[in-house]
Amino acid sequence: MQARGSSSVTAQNWLGRRTPLHATSSGKALLAHQPKSVQESVLARKLPRLTDHTVVSPAELRAELRSVARNGFASARDELEIGLHAVAAPVRAHDGKVIGAISVSGPSYRLEEERLHEVAKRTVAAAQDLSRRMGYAY
């Protein structure tokens, strides 16, 4: 599902479209919770640079994935496209397996660095609430 905000900024509809795991907050949130073998298979491929900010170094992405797993959310700043910032948090099934992610994205002039952290907290809370509804106990 995708919901539009009350602002008049036009958003790209990503529903049903593939986006690169390494350049999106939701992709990183999902990848960070995959087995190491899955992570390494992704990191073994050439990671396309979509903007000057896209993380394409396997070592840098590995470190970022560890941070995502530790902090409970992922972010992407100008990585998929310039001017787009996003945060995402994993959604877990009753058994703890990550089965999806909730993400919030917006233009960088509205989702600035200071605001990104507050939005991340709310996104994590929403993902945890949905996970609880799926039967996962935090």
Give the CA angle between residues 9, 104, 31 to the nearest 5°. 135
Write out the H or E segment, with its range, that includes residue 98: strand 98-107
- Where does residue 84 rank: exposed (0-12), middle (13-18), buried (19+ CB within 10 A)? buried
- Which of these ranges, 2-6, 17-21, 68-72, has the smallest mean pLDDT? 2-6
57 CB-near residues (< 8 Å, 6+ apart)? none
Task: Show me where the domains of the chain are located.
Answer: 21-133
Which of 90, 92, 56, 88 is CA-nearest to residue 74?
Answer: 88
The per-residue pLDDT for 105 is 94
The per-residue pLDDT for 138 is 78
Q: Which two tokens stand for residue 54?
A: 């896209």
Asked: is 21-133 a CATH 2.70.98.40 domain? The reply is: no
Q: Rounded to an integer, what distance in angstroms lies between the CA atom of residue 85 and that of residue 105?
A: 6
- Kindly report, residue by residue over 98-125, the tens digit of the pLDDT: 999 999 999 999 999 889 999 999 999 9
If you average pLDDT over residues 9-35, what whole number do you get? Answer: 83
Write out the H or E segment, with its range, that includes residue 90: strand 84-92
Per-residue pLDDT band at 8 (split at 50, 70, 90) = very low
- Where does residue 85 rank: exposed (0-12), middle (13-18), buried (19+ CB within 10 A)? buried
pLDDT > 90 in the chain, percent: 84
Per-residue pLDDT band at 19 (split at 50, 70, 90) = confident
